[in-house]
Amino acid sequence: MDSIGSDNRQVYPKQSALMQKIDFIKEVDKLKTILRRTILFDKSRQENDAEHTWELAMMAVVLYDSVSPNTDLLRCLKMLLIHDLVEIYAGDTYAYDQTGIVDQHERERHSAEKIFGILPKSLGDEMLHLWEEFEARTTSEAKFARALDRLQPLLHNYYTDGVSWQKHAVTAPQVRYSMAVIRDSSDELGELVDSLIDDAVKRGFLPESLPS
């Protein structure tokens, strides 16, 4: 019998639950093609969404002791793995893009229904609800996931001397506003963020305001 990866697409019935999952796996591979504004630590290139997702999952495991022990790490990891899948269709919206954020949720909601709709209904509904939980940011798991999603690009900006911040004319007040949600999850991480922003300003690669 031919394998699933061969040219024979009918090894299993096309609409079987297994093949729906395989179709989903094939589709989410496109996440590797979505580029972000974040620059790698070695400054060699922009990261893609799949790399961003992997790093967030690693950060969740490493930084888990910074949040309440009642936080469900597995649930948080699930949110992190799926939270940016919507960008396969909606594209990446830069955190400091005031135009892009106007219709961001509408675009991403449509994309969420499309991407998770590939899966068998029960699994697709579960993932859609996890995505909605991440967006709503009302549970400890969602707050931790969102905190990491904000912290990761901050670390990359700080340790690349603000390459992306400077390219997009980002100021310290904008960064402080964007990072404020981190304290909702962890005072420790919030204090770290404050110190990094203050040091970036002191070192001159994150201005308090733009030249008039």
Tell me: the pLDDT tens digits for 172-197?
999 999 999 999 999 999 999 999 99
Mean of per-residue pLDDT scores for the chain? 93
Domain ranges in the chain are: 17-203
Burial class (CB in 10 A: 0-12, 13-18, 19+), 21: middle
What tokens does 174 get?
Answer: 């904008």
pLDDT digits (tens, 9 = 90+) for 58-94: 999 999 999 999 999 999 999 999 999 999 999 888 8
Q: What pTM was estimated for this model as a whole?
A: 0.90
Closest by CA position to 31, among listed 77, 84, 80, 83: 84
Tell me what pLDDT residue 96 has: 87
Residue 50 vs residues 33, 42, 82, 140, 195: alpha-carbon distances, Å: 8, 18, 10, 24, 28
Helix/strand/coil for 47? strand
Q: Which CATH superfamily is domain 17-203 in?
A: Hypothetical protein af1432 (1.10.3210.10)
Which secondary-structure segment (H or E) carries 199?
helix 187-203
Helices (H), 32-182: 49-63, 73-82, 87-90, 104-116, 121-136, 140-158, 163-167, 172-179
